[in-house]
Amino acid sequence: EVQVVESGGGLVKPGGSLRLSCAASGFTFTNAYMAWVRQAPGKGLEWVGRIKSKTDGGTTVHAAPVKGRFTISRDDSKNTLYLQMNSLKIEDTAVYYCTTDLKDWGQGTLVTVSS
Partner 1 sequence: QTVVTQEPSLTVSPGGTVTLTCASSTGAVTSGYDPNWFQQKPGQPPRALIYGTSNKHSWTPARFSGSLLGGKAALTLSPVQPEDEADYYCLLYYGGAGVFGGGTKLTVL
| Residues of the shown chain interacting with partner 1 in the complex, contacts defined by CB under 8 A | 35, 37, 44-47, 49-50, 61-64, 97, 102-108
Q: Is 30 or 107 the residue whose CB approaches partner 1 more closely?
A: 107
| 90 phi, psi to nearest 5 deg | -55, -35
From the CB of 97, what's the least distance to partner 1, in Å?
6
From the CB of 110, what's the least distance to partner 1, in Å?
12
Instruction: Check: CB of residue 96 under 8 Å from CB of residue 9.
Output: yes
DSSP string for the chain: --EEEEE--EEE-TT--EEEEEEEESS-GGG--EEEEEE-TTS-EEEEEEE--GGGT--EEE-TTTBTTEEEEEETTTTEEEEEE-S--GGG-EEEEEESTTSSB---EEEEE--
From the CB of 108, what's the least distance to partner 1, in Å?
6
Q: Is 51 or 85 the residue whose CB approaches partner 1 more closely?
A: 51
Q: Is 12 or 102 the residue whose CB approaches partner 1 more closely?
A: 102
From the CB of 47, what's the least distance to partner 1, in Å?
4
